[in-house]
Amino acid sequence: MEKLLVKGKKKLSGTIQISGSKNATLPILAASILNEKKIEIKGVPIVKDVITMFHLLKHMGSNIKFNFRKKKIFINNKNKKLRHVAPYAFVKTMRAGIIVLGSLLTKFGKAKVSLPGGCAIGTRPVDIHLYGLKKLGANIKIKNGYILAEAKNGLKGAKIRFPSISVGATENVIIAASLAKGTTYLKNCACEPEIKNLTDFLRKMGVKINWLNQREVKIVGNRKMKPVSHKVMFDRIEAGTFIIAGALASRSLKIAGIDTKTLNTELKILKKMGVKMKISKNEIRVLESKNIKPITIRTQPYPGFPTDLQAQTMVLMTMAKGISKIRENIFENRFMHVPELNRMGGKIKTRGNLSLIFGPQDLNGAEVMATDLRASVSLVLAGLVAKNKTVINRVYHLDRGYEQLEKKLKKCKANISRVYS
Ligand code: UD1
């Protein structure tokens, strides 16, 4: 069992280079199935979920190579017919495996993809994905835990309004519409920057795709693809996480390799909380921030405050002088870090999707348990600011989405190490 050991109260200083986005890389890799010409993807983060997607594509027969040193993926599927099955073994560990459904279906006319099932943060159904694909003409059945989808004569463009906003469903249906006959109009789309990164990738491959307004996209299907070279955008959740680490524990911490425009909402909230930052176009310097103020936030789809930064922000709220509130509007069970933070001396009360954080509280190191990706990193942040030693169990959650977290923090003088027991 791997654990992280953090000895708190060390002042951080130096530069943290932000990696490529996991949530942009995954749909881009899924969309690679559409194109038989050469594909180069740059700035790929080496994290567990991306490696799982790489193995899934390999399993399906894709001629895919990962150069870890250069952080590049190369794919060349000239005249290749991929296996159209995504088995449970892959999708159970990484729900985003469901995104190959749209690609396989539109490219090969059929797909068999394991149902992902729920996960720690909620039930996470896939009804919106299936709703969109059916509207494009797919026949879909569920059998033995698998989604069996078919479109013998190919998918057809359609006008679709998503019943509610979903990142994954928007990606799946955009990818499927890319090879469909005719034009697709999608309304009530998620518009996360990672989805824009995906549509940029598709456009470079030859798909005619335009955002008509914030939540509406037009796609003209096109089976004639071009070779493509594409750089994955920066990981805005990783950036937000390290900005909060800086606010909690830095003397002067530079967060580099980002586009600060994309972080508007998060930076506005952090500024209101009294985090001292010098913001320029592609980097932020976080300075010692002694006077943290309470705030109320609610998580929302982009451009609202991201659910993926909720747990990390909660740690900062424990330092604020007064009562902060968080309303979690995206996932129904995303406060699992609360009991762990309370074991470290936090004073946080939760009712339904609302948390009240009573600050300021001095956190104390403890042995804690990571429960999901973002909850795990919130415990690392708490460990950085807590007195004494914090031991974080089940760090495999963290490895799904953070590239070299300990190495990056260590370089900035944190006392953090991985132990094996
Ligand atoms: C993506 C992100 C994840 C982030 C989330 C919300 C990736 C790989 N993951 O997840 O990090 O936390 O967006 O920003 O990009 N829902 C349904 N039916 C569906 C689909 C979703 O009810 O068919 C619900 C979900 O259970 C959830 C909400 O809609 O409550 C939003 O989920 P969604 O936007 O689809 O998140 P993911 O794409 O799974």
Cα 168 to ligand 1 centroid, rounded to whole Å = 6
Average pLDDT, stretch 121-135? 90
Cα 125 to ligand 1 centroid, rounded to whole Å = 9
Q: What does the alpha-carbon distance between residue 117 and residue 147 come to, in Å, rounded to a whole number?
A: 12
Instruction: Please give the C-alpha separations between residue 320 and each of 157, 242, 256, 289, in angstroms, as whole numbers.
Output: 51, 18, 26, 11
Inform me whether the pLDDT recorded for 118 exceeds 70: no
Q: What percent of the chain has pLDDT over 70?
A: 99
Topology adopted by domain 22-231:
UDP-n-acetylglucosamine1-carboxyvinyl-transferase; Chain (3.65.10)
* β-strand partners of 371: none
On the question of a cis peptide bond just before residue 125, with omega within 30 degrees of 0, the verdict is no
Inform me whether the pLDDT recorded for 142 exceeds 80: yes
Shortest-distance Cα residue to atom 11 of ligand 1: 308
**C-alpha dihedral sign at 64, 70, 72, 78:** negative
Cα 223 to ligand 1 centroid, rounded to whole Å = 28
DSSP 302-365: TTSB-GGGHHHHHHHHTTSSEEEEEE--S-TT--THHHHHHHTT--EEEETTEEEEEE----B-
Do residues 243 and 2 touch, judged by C-beta distance below 8 A? no
Q: What does the alpha-carbon distance between residue 125 and residue 139 come to, in Å, rounded to a whole number?
A: 18
Residue 215's nearest CA partner among 258, 182, 169 is 169
pLDDT tens column, 248-267: 998 899 999 999 999 999 99
Do residues 236 and 17 touch, judged by C-beta distance below 8 A? no
Do residues 251 and 13 touch, judged by C-beta distance below 8 A? yes
Give the mutation target among 22, 99, 140, 166 for probing the ligand 1 site: most ligand atoms within 8 A of CB: 166
Q: Are strands 146-150 and 110-114 parallel, antiparallel or unpaired?
A: antiparallel
What's domain 2-19+234-420's architecture?
A: Alpha-beta prism (3.65)
- Cβ of 26 closer than 6 Å to ligand 1, yes or no, is yes
User: What is the predicted pLDDT for the residue at 1?
Assistant: 85
Six-digit token string for 71: 């952080």
pLDDT tens column, 19-53: 999 999 999 999 999 999 999 999 999 999 999 99
pLDDT tens column, 291-344: 999 999 999 999 999 999 999 999 999 999 999 999 999 998 899 999 999 999
Shortest-distance Cα residue to atom 36 of ligand 1: 167
Residue 344's nearest CA partner among 321, 317, 315 is 315
| Helix ranges (DSSP H) in 136-284 | 167-177, 193-205, 236-249, 264-272
Shortest-distance Cα residue to atom 39 of ligand 1: 168
Shortest-distance Cα residue to atom 17 of ligand 1: 125
Shortest-distance Cα residue to atom 37 of ligand 1: 168
Q: What does the alpha-carbon distance between residue 108 and residue 28 come to, in Å, rounded to a whole number?
A: 18
User: What is the predicted pLDDT for the residue at 72?
Assistant: 98
User: Helix crossing, 22-31 with 167-177: angle to 10°?
Assistant: 30
Query: In CATH terms, are 2-19+234-420 and 22-231 the same topology?
Result: yes
Q: What does the alpha-carbon distance between residue 197 and residue 194 come to, in Å, rounded to a whole number?
A: 5
Domain positions in the chain are 2-19+234-420, 22-231
Establish whether 119 is a catalytic residue.
Answer: yes
Shortest-distance Cα residue to atom 26 of ligand 1: 124
Per-residue pLDDT band for 120 (boundaries 50, 70, 90) equals: confident
Per-residue pLDDT band for 356 (boundaries 50, 70, 90) equals: very high
Atom of ligand 1 nearest to the CA of 126: 23
Collect all residues with Cβ–Cβ distance below 8 Å to 144 and sequence separation of at least 6. none
User: What is the predicted pLDDT for the residue at 123?
Assistant: 72
pLDDT tens column, 205-241: 999 999 999 999 999 999 999 999 999 999 999 999 9
- Cβ of 116 closer than 6 Å to ligand 1, yes or no, is no
Atom of ligand 1 nearest to the CA of 308: 12
Do residues 257 and 249 touch, judged by C-beta distance below 8 A? no
Average pLDDT in the chain: 96
Average pLDDT, stretch 388-400? 94
Cα 321 to ligand 1 centroid, rounded to whole Å = 33
Side-chain half-sphere CA neighbours of 314 within 13 A? 37
Cα 92 to ligand 1 centroid, rounded to whole Å = 15
- Cβ of 23 closer than 6 Å to ligand 1, yes or no, is yes
Give the mutation target among 98, 167, 332 for probing the ligand 1 site: most ligand atoms within 8 A of CB: 167
